[in-house]
Amino acid sequence: MSDLNTDIKKILVIGIGNCGRHDDGLGWKFTEMISKHSQGKVDSEYRYQLQVEDSVLVSKYDTVIFADASHSKLKQGFEIHRCRAATHYFYSSHMQTPETILYLAKELYNKIPKSFIVAIKGHIWGLGTTLSRVAEKNLEKAVLSFEKEFFKVAT
């Protein structure tokens, strides 16, 4: 974790999902683990969905990680990629994309933090508080990769 403590000033990890929906809890679990491993050196937030006012929150950070479960097929079971501001808009007020949140942060608060999306492949989505075995493995790999590699990219 030494890289984590060096170059990046202020980091926020936002877990997106619902821990009451089996693998939809991957984003929260990832955030919980990173928060624990970093010994309080990153801030963490948990969301069912991103909302417009999260633009205020992200504008206060230098780096923001959006962690979420994914339905998509991912080569390694997870994927970490750069997130850039874009004007997507979801029709409902209570569900926005990370790209929209960054766009609003830029337009309203003149700040775009360096941002990444951590997508972790999930498999079951019904009511339940446990992760599937495959999702747990994907989560482990995502956390390891994040801790080993991510901060080189971010800095």
Partner 1 sequence: MTRKITIDPVTRVEGHGRVTIHLDEYGQVKDSFFHIVEFRGFERFIQGHPYWEAPVLVQRLCGICPVSHHLAAAKAIDQLVGIDPKDLSPAATKLRRLMHFGQIFQSHALHFFYLASPDLLFGVDAPAEKRNVVAVAVENRELAVKGITMRRFGQEIIKAVAGKKIHGILAVPGGVHKTFTQRERDFFMDGKEIENIDTMIEWSLGVIDFMKGYHEKNRKLLDEFAEFPSGHLGMVNELGAMDLYDGKLRAIDHEGNRTLNDISTDLYEQYFSEAVAQWSYMKFPYLKGVGREKGWNRVGPLARINLCDFIPTPLAEKERQAFIAFTGKKINNSTMYSHWARLIEVLHAAEVMKELLNDPELLGEDLVRKGTPRSKGIGIIEAPRGTLTHHYEVDEKGMITRCNLIVSTTHNNDAMNTAVKWVANNVISRKGAITDGMLNQVEVAIRAYDPCLSCATQAMGKMPLKAELYNYKGEMIDERFKY
Summarize as ranges the residues that interact with partner 1 (CB under 8 A).
Answer: 48-49, 52-53, 55-56, 87, 89, 91-94, 100, 103-104, 107-109
Taking the complex as a whole, the smallest distance from the CB of residue 44 to partner 1 amounts, in Å, to: 14
Rounded least distance, CB 57 to partner 1, Å: 9
Q: Which residue has the tokens 């495959």?
A: 134
Query: How far apart, in Å, do the first and last CA atoms of the chain sit?
Result: 14
C-alpha 98/C-alpha 49 separation (Å) is: 10
Between residues 88 and 148, which has the closer beta carbon with respect to partner 1? 88
Contacts with 95 (C-beta within 8 Å, 6 or more apart), sequence order? 49, 50, 51
Indicate the residue among 56 and 112 with the shorter CB distance to partner 1: 56
The minimum distance between CB 138 and partner 1, in angstroms, equals 25
- Return the number of the residue (1 or 95) whose C-beta is nearest partner 1: 95
CB of 109 to partner 1, least distance (A): 8
Gap between the Cα atoms of 124 and 72, Å rounded: 13
Q: How many residues does the chain have?
A: 155
Nearest distance from C-beta of residue 108 to partner 1, angstroms: 5
- Closer CB to partner 1, residue 52 or residue 134? 52
Instruction: Pick the closest to residue 26 from 104, 137, 100 (CA basis).
Output: 137
Q: What is the dihedral of CA 66, 72, 77, 79, to 10 degrees?
A: -40
Distance of alpha carbon 54 from alpha carbon 46, whole angstroms:
11
Q: Which is nearer to partner 1, 48 or 137 (CB)?
A: 48
